[in-house]
Structure 1
Amino acid sequence: MIWQMVLLCIIWGTNWAVMSVALEYFPPIMFSAFRFVLGSAVLLAICFYRKIPFPKKQDWKWYALCGLLQTAYVFAVTQSVLEYLSIGVGSILAFSMPFWLTILAHFFIPNERINFAKISGLLIGLTGLILVLDVNFLEMTWSGVTIVAQLFAISASIAWATSNIIIKKVLHNHDKTQFTTYQMIIGALGLLVASFILEPGGSVEWSWMAIFCLVFAGVLASALAYILWSFILSEGEAGKSSISLLAVPVVGALSGWAFLGETLSLGTLLGILLVLSGIAVVNMKDIKRLRRKVAYDHAMPDQKEKGSL
């Protein structure tokens, strides 16, 4: 599970740099719509190849709700509010999702009670995230259209958390590819409508780089990554898994430094350490279990027989 989460954070974090480049060629909501259309097409091909059946009638309402919440609403809102908020503030509010999911999981998912490790790790991680994204709350505007945009951004993170609760509580036994495919189709249709309404006259400057951004975001960061996230969420604790997603902006900052020439300040480096520390606090038991397993796998046969590890 740890390695799947690492892979997911690398893909989604690297996609931050890709999306930054993509905005030079696409209107923001249109790009999100196109990437999920491409991701849906890839997933439909996989469903056809694997002969995955059409969703049952009773499943459609949940697939539609998740598609509208975690794909259409989240991406339409988070892209739109950037007209009024900085990328750092928008990202902080979007990645407050683990906070809302931890609270919702406490009430709706058995055996996922809030504990000291979760709260400590979440607070440490969010503090680090503020440093990584260089957000100064003292300079933020807390009135007028800005506060409306901030509330919408928070509502998007709550929508994402709500969708994750549905996946964990209702859809955990469903085929991950089937669910991801049809919720993504519905979400992509919602984004196409949002782009038509909110980005009238928007156009695309096609180039090889635009195509690369679309393929990376559509195939890896959408089709593959969302199946991976559904699997992680279904198999692990919702709160712990979501807190680990705080590593995504960290990878995003490192990707910007590595590929786009962005600088890493001392505050950013300190923030990265805090985010990783917060994730480690929450996942300490899993980390210890993994270390014992690795030690056991590399132990000599006589040590295994004696049970010394």
Structure 2
Amino acid sequence: MGSSILTNKGIVWVLILLITVIWGYAWVFMKAALDFMGPFTFSAFRFGTGAVTLLLFVWILRAGKPPRHMWKHLVVVGMLQTAIVFTFVMYGMQFVNAGKSSVLLYSMPLWSSIFAVKLLGEKITPGKVAGLAMGMLGLVTILGWDIFFVKDLSVIFGEVLIVAAAFSWAASNTYYRLKLEGMTQLQVSAYQMLFGTIGILAATIVAEWGEPIQLTGASIFYILFTGVLASALCFTVWFVLLSMIDMVTATLSTLLVPVFGLFFGWWILGEELTGSILAGSALVIAGIVVAQIFGREKSESGG
């Protein structure tokens, strides 16, 4: 019995590592894809492919359609989690390195903690306060360096967009907790991605209609890797894993994504890892760890 549990745990952690490596590596392809098409166009291709793949999963697994009264909530989550997050991220990545972008987007748990206290009634604990302070200091370290020393307005604009995307992602998580709990994760993923893709398509038509698109072997591979593998397949497996591990472990394991994002950006794209990026990234990650671990322990013992 014990050995089978260990084996299962081993498989779970291998899958978590594999998924986070794929998500980290996807940032390289997201950046590289901008050489072939506009940021909105790539996002439309990516999430259109991902939505079709997920809807195929829904059909194969006979998950069924969401109840009619849930559709409006799925539209909201789709706009917040897919449309806004990835139009902002991809537009911002025209000016910001892939590794730094991944760190800024994965500041999302910090904003989620604030939303949870304000809107979900979760307790604010000393651990959460300390974690939030460290995380915010990390963001200030990254952004402040560029504001006061680099002084490139396009870079600062891109970074602000990506932080806004993290804020939107956190808002979508909170909205999900308020309105969509009880639905299967596969249904939520598939249909929010479908509605989000429609939003991205609208932005693409308005902003990039008529702009050149280079569909080469490389660009199609980037679309398939990020759409089918990183978006549809990884998210499906991830939601299965969420039923096997606790939420804190899940949140902490996603911190591997910006670590891999920074590493692959440096290794493959030759992006510079400055002291401000490394120090800021370490503070953001440490802040989330502190808020998740110590914030949880205190609130549980107090409740």
TM-score, normalised via structure 1 length: 0.74
Displacement after TM superposition at 1:185 (Å): 0.7
**2-structure distance, mates of 1:221, 1:97:** 18
> Which runs of structure 2 are paired with 1:120-199 in the superposition (5 Å)?
120-128=130-138, 135-139=145-149, 155-199=164-208
**1-structure distance, mates of 2:89, 2:291:** 27
Q: Which of 30, 44, 67 matches 1:19?
A: 30
Q: What amino acid is the match of 1:113?
A: K
Q: What are structure 2's unaligned runs of at least 5 residues?
A: 1-8, 298-303
Q: Identity of aligned pairs, percent?
A: 33
Displacement after TM superposition at 1:49 (Å): 0.9
DSSP-derived class of the 1:168 partner: helix
Q: Choose 1 or 2 for highest CA Rg.
A: 1
Displacement after TM superposition at 1:12 (Å): 2.6
Q: Which of 114, 125, 132 matches 1:103?
A: 114
Q: What are structure 1's unaligned runs of at least 5 residues?
A: 289-309
Residue-pair matches, total: 284
Q: Which of 201, 209, 212 matches 1:200?
A: 209
> Which runs of structure 2 are paired with 1:73-84 in the superposition (5 Å)?
73-81=84-92
Call closer, same or farther: CA 1:187–1:250 in 2, change over 3 Å. Answer: same
State the Cα RMSD in Å. Answer: 3.9
> Which runs of structure 2 are paired with 1:194-273 in the superposition (5 Å)?
194-227=203-236, 245=254, 247-273=256-282
DSSP-derived class of the 1:136 partner: helix
Displacement after TM superposition at 1:174 (Å): 1.1
Call closer, same or farther: CA 1:134–1:232 in 2, change over 3 Å. Answer: farther
Call closer, same or farther: CA 1:126–1:244 in 2, change over 3 Å. Answer: farther
Partner of 1:297: none
> Which runs of structure 2 are paired with 1:25-44 in the superposition (5 Å)?
25-44=36-55
Q: What amino acid is the match of 2:211?
A: G
Deviations 1:238-265 (CA, angstroms, capped at 9, x unpaired): 8x96676555333211011232233434
Q: Which of 67, 74, 77 matches 1:66?
A: 77
Displacement after TM superposition at 1:179 (Å): 1.1
Q: Between 146-155 and 204-213, report the one with greater CA deviation.
A: 146-155
TM-score, normalised via structure 2 length: 0.75
Call closer, same or farther: CA 1:8–1:274 in 2, change over 3 Å. Answer: farther
Displacement after TM superposition at 1:147 (Å): 8.9
Q: Between 255-264 and 242-251, report the one with greater CA deviation.
A: 242-251
Call closer, same or farther: CA 1:252–1:22 in 2, change over 3 Å. Answer: same
8 Å contact from structure 1 (residues 246, 275) kept in 2: no
**1-structure distance, mates of 2:151, 2:278:** 26
Deviations 1:176-230 (CA, angstroms, capped at 9, x unpaired): 1111111101111111110110112222212221122111110122113444666
**2-structure distance, mates of 1:155, 1:94:** 8
